[in-house]
């Protein structure tokens, strides 16, 4: 099964950042095809190469990079959400790319399932 994920919540202020990563890892370990992960709204902050977590916390950015390298999944950052938060190509961590919502629409069309992970208001 081909699966894409849309992540919307701030990865550093709730457990949802870890939840999104764990879900993506379980998709890969279950021998499904993780097609694309699209970071939107506050979730784009995970893609900054300047986002460094304290040593006693999970290194989420590094863990996403590791997952992308091992599974060849695309990690896409919404261009508009990124620009609002000062994220441009030059400050993105390795393996993250900037693209528009069209990439998310394409992922939805190409995937059997799209999972939405967010924090409710």
Annotated catalytic residues are 78
CA separation (Å) from 86 to 3, 19, 100, 103?
29, 25, 16, 20
Shortest CA distance to 117 belongs to which of 17, 45, 12?
A: 17
In 3-state terms, the chain is what percent helix, strand and coil (to 5)?
A: 45, 25, 35
In angstroms, the CA 18 to CA 111 distance is 23
């Amino acid at each position: 099964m081909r699966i894409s994920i849309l992540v919307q919540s701030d990865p550093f202020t709730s457990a949802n950042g870890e939840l999104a990563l764990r879900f993506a890892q379980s998709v890969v370990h279950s021998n499904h095809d993780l097609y694309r992960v699209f970071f939107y709204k506050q979730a784009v902050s995970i893609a900054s190469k300047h986002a460094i977590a304290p040593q006693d916390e999970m290194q989420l950015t590094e863990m996403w990079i590791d997952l992308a390298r091992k599974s060849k999944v695309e990690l896409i950052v919404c261009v508009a959400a990124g620009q609002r938060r000062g994220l441009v190509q030059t400050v993105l961590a390795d393996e993250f790319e900037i693209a528009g919502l069209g990439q998310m629409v394409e992922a939805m069309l190409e995937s059997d399932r799209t999972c939405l992970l967010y924090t409710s208001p």
